Structure 1
Amino acid sequence: MKGKYKMGFGHRIEELDYLRGFALLGIVLVNILPLLELGMPKAGSLDAAYWRLLYLFVEGRFYTIFTFLFGVGFYIFITRANEKGKNGVVLFLRRIVALFLFGLVHVQFHPGEALTVYAVCGLLLLPFYKVNKVMNLFLGLVMFIIFSMFSFKLFMVIPIMLLGITAGQFRLFEKLSEKKKGIAVFTGIMFVLSISGLLYQYQHAPFIIEERLEMEIRSSQEFVRIGIIIGPIVSAFYVGLLVLLLQYRFIQKLLSPLKSYGRMALTNYMMQTVIILVAGNGFHLIGNISLIHSFFICLMIYVIQLSFSVIWLRYFYYGPLEWTWRAITYLQIPPLLNQMGDRLSGD
């Protein structure tokens, strides 16, 4: 059994780091709105157009990718631990407890944070690690269809995470260079479905006309509801397109900062909140800026965090919180200083 996984999971799957970094880019665009207490935009304004773009192309799309990747990482972590002769389930339970503790701290400052939700859902899905992959695929799809009908974002975490576990079982992220044709076909199908879904969603986009406020509120709710339903399809297109592009060396080099950003996903996710709240309170931005201004703040956060991630990983094996998370998981102090300039495969 040990030899079965050696080829597939013996090295770090870099595409997953790129995808995590990509997901973080979108998540901050949405999270900044409640953190800075930004309300609905005025009718006919540039902010109103930006709000519609967020809910068409960002809201529910990047969070879905992050959730799916957590499921993939869930499976890979336990599998690699078992390969090394360790008890993967016990290590995973410690890992989940540590994640929950991180989340408890984070939720004090960001009520909509995801870490506590991921920890609870990860615990609930632990038995599915040993379930047959075809059964997991079936259950994940059925739950996804049922929960999407309720259009409640929180409900979607379980099926999307389970589909991530299933992707790990099917080894979808192994030997991607040999799967370019299949990835291209998948991405093409998701593109067509995404365009169809987005056009339908746009038809319900509110334009926030004050004379028809009640009607626009109902329209806004329908607009968001449709977005939740089609979100995973758009997310799948984003993932397929990025994975396809990453099969080219030039794109890998061009987007290399994104890989570092994703390797430090936990640190960067929590630091996004810190930066936003410090800037918001320090410069009196909370409730006092427009949605467009929040976009430019996010651009500055990108520059800060991408640069920091690249520089940090030149000298250290792990991000600060990743190192802490690993220490709690293994109950031992892992190496941090990267004296030789090499890289660990990591979990």
Structure 2
Amino acid sequence: MKKTITNNRIDELDYIRGFALMGIILVNILSLLDIKIPEPNSVDANYQRFLYFFVEGRFYSIFSFLFGVGFYLFITRANAKGRNGYVLFLRRVVAMLAFGILHSLYHPGEALMVYAIVGFILLPFYKVNRHINLAISVILLIMFAILGIKIALTLPLILLGLTCGQYQVFENLKEKTKQLVLFTAFMFLLSGVGLYIQYLNTPDQPFQAMILYSEEGAVDQVSKFLQIGVTNGPIISAFYIGFLLLLLQSKMVQTILSPLKYYGRMAFTNYIGQTVFILLAGQLFHFTANLTYIQTLYVCIAIYALQMIFSVVWLRFFKMGPLEWIWRIITYWQAVPLRKNTT
């Protein structure tokens, strides 16, 4: 299998990471601050529906997929430099697991531990034929999506990301515009069908943000609505990725969205930072169990602004984010320069 790959950073992946982070915080804040159930027929009720149609499960899927792409790129580039990519990757996921355990003390629903565990499981698949990996990932993705098991989707999504790395999907995107248009259009149609089915099962009343089972019709209705949302997740995520990649074909769009690229380049720091900012805001402003759904959006917008400004300024002087730097030291077991050479 051909494994020639550039060592240059793929900017499109950073844009997508930044985009994924923007969606993830919109849902995470709901559990971190224990937001109250909206009043029926209110702005908050409409925003809740928006989140569960277009955000919940969509951006987590993108983030999981990107971990798989990064998984492949990391090992391939390390091996190309004469290093043992497998050993380095194992150190990398052990460090991620440690960060995840610490993060879970404050954010029980965090993703890093899951990614680390799946990384251990999928490491042997790096050497498996890409066609076999594609078949396995798609079959498992369809199966778990139909069953509506969100956490189980992580494994096939990461494997699919690894497989896309094997196929070099994100290299030379300018030469793949036609295929990208067809892919995005197809995913748009599938997303429309899935959202329509989910719409037909929309609960009559606002709900607690979890899947429950009982003999009460209202609870069962919520469960079905949320499970359909899980099923739709990877499809809508694929449309989001395709559409963003098409937009990024334009230099003007790249310039306008450039803060998103820097936000994504520091994805590890910003992901942990989101939790820190949310919990600090909750303590300082007594937000816990006191915010409405729409007010969580305002908090998230403020965090976007702070983190994007920080990311742009930080990366002007430093090579990587602060947590990325610590992660890199643990991975390579040696000190690496953080500050850019300005001479």
For the aligned pair, the TM-score class normalised by the smaller chain equals: over 0.9
Q: Could you say which residue in structure 1 is the equivalent of 2:187? A: 190
1:39 & 1:156 partners in 2: Cα distance?
Answer: 28
Partner of residue 231, structure 2: 229
Deviations 1:45-100 (A, max 9, x none): 21111111000000000000000000000000000000000000000000000000
Tell me the CA shift for residue 121 of structure 1: 0.4
Q: 2:201 aligns with which of 182, 201, 204?
A: 204
What is the DSSP-based 3-state SS (H/G/I as helix, E as strand, rest coil) of the residue aligned with 1:92? helix
* Residue aligning to 1:296: 298
Write the letter of the residue equivalent to 2:293: L
**CA spacing shift, 1:142–1:5, aligned 2, 3 Å:** closer
**Could you tell me how far apart the structure 1 residues matched to 2:6 and 2:118 are?**
24
Q: What is the identity, as a one-letter code, of the residue corresponding to 1:61? A: R
Partner Cα distance (1:18, 1:28) in 2: 16
Instruction: Work out which of the residue numbers 132, 137, 148 in structure 2 matches 1:135.
Output: 132
Alignment equivalent of 1:245, drawn from 229, 238, 247: 247
2:275 is equivalent to residue 278 of structure 1: no
Separation of aligned partners in 1, 2:204 and 2:327:
45
1:344 aligns to what?
Answer: none
Give the RMSD, CA atoms, in angstroms.
1.5
Corresponding pairs, count: 336
Shift of 1:144: 1.1
Instruction: For 2:236, give the aligned amino acid.
Output: V
Secondary structure of the corresponding residue to residue 286 of structure 1: coil
Separation in 2, partners of 1:323, 1:50: 37
The TM-score with structure 1 as length reference comes to 0.94
Is the contact made by 1:268 and 1:305 (CA closer than 8 Å) also made in structure 2?
yes
Deviation digits for residues 181-222 of structure 1, max 9, x if unmatched? 110111011111111111110111112179xx9433221111
2:52 counterpart residue number: 55
Partner residue of 1:34? Answer: 31
State the distance in 2 between where 1:146 and 1:191 align: 21
Distance 2:101 2:53 in 1: 30
Amino acid at match of 2:129: N
Give per-residue Cα distances to partners, 1:284-313, cap 9 Å, x unaligned: 100011000001100001100111000000
| Structure 1 residues 209 and 84: CA distance shift in structure 2, 3 A | closer
SS in 2 for 1:9: coil
Q: Which amino acid counterpart does residue 38 of structure 1 have in structure 2?
A: I
TM-score by length of 2: 0.96
- Structure 2 equivalent of residue 255 of structure 1: 257
Confirm or deny: 8 A CA contact 1:44 1:207 kept in the other structure.
Answer: no
State the distance in 1 between where 2:204 and 2:276 align: 33
Deviation at 1:5, TM superposition (A): 4.1
Mean CA deviation greater in 146-155 or 73-82:
146-155
Q: What is the distance in 2 between the residues matched to 1:43 and 1:5? A: 55
Q: Say which SS state the counterpart of residue 153 (structure 2) adopts.
A: helix
Give the counterpart letter for 1:94 in structure 2.
R
Q: How does 1:114-125 map to 2 (within 5 A)?
A: 114-125=111-122
Unmatched 5+ stretches in structure 2: 208-214
CA drift at 1:41: 1.6
The 1-side partners of 2:266 and 2:243 are apart by: 22
The equivalent of 1:322 in structure 2 is: 324
Match of 2:98 among 76, 101, 105: 101
Q: Is the 1:5–1:83 Cα contact (8 Å) retained in structure 2?
A: no
Give the match's secondary structure for 2:103: helix
Hey, what's the Cα distance between the residues in 2 that align with 1:221 and 1:42?
19
| 8 Å contact from structure 1 (residues 133, 170) kept in 2 | yes
Task: Please state how far the C-alpha of 1:159 moved relative to its aligned partner.
Answer: 0.5
Once the two structures are overlaid, the 10-residue window that deviates more, 150-159 or 61-70, is 150-159
Matched residues in 1 for 2:300 and 2:81: separation? 40
Paired residue type of 2:145: S
